[in-house]
Amino acid sequence: MKTVEDFVLLLQDELALSVEVEDLGRSLDTVDSWDSVHLLALCTVLERETGRPLSLADVLEAPSLEALYRLAVTP
């Protein structure tokens, strides 16, 4: 996963979320079908894809999918 487009494809393929790049900045509570199970699944997928652990505290503070993407790709 190198680009934001790759991230969107991951969300669509791995989590079956109907999101586009334009949706990434929306608040998580406005993302269709989003729930805590999606958050845990996304963390698992992101850690697998990046080979790095994510801080649970940072993940829980993330207000949007864009923020989660930045957590995953920023060293």
Write the CATH number for 45: 1.10.1200.10
| pLDDT score of 51 | 95
Consecutive H or E run containing 59: helix 56-61
Query: What is the CB neighbour count within 10 angstroms for residue 49?
Result: 16
| pLDDT score of 53 | 96
3-state secondary structure (DSSP) of residue 47: helix
Specify the pTM. 0.93
Please give the tally of structural domains in the chain. Answer: 1
* Residue 75 C-alpha from the chain's centroid: 16
| pLDDT score of 67 | 98
- Tens-binned pLDDT, residue by residue, of the chain (75 aa): 889 999 999 999 999 999 999 999 999 999 999 999 999 999 999 999 999 999 999 999 999 999 999 999 998
3-state secondary structure (DSSP) of residue 13: helix
DSSP assignment, residue 29? G
| pLDDT score of 45 | 96
What is the rounded distance in angstroms from the CA atom of residue 14 to the CA atom of residue 75?
23
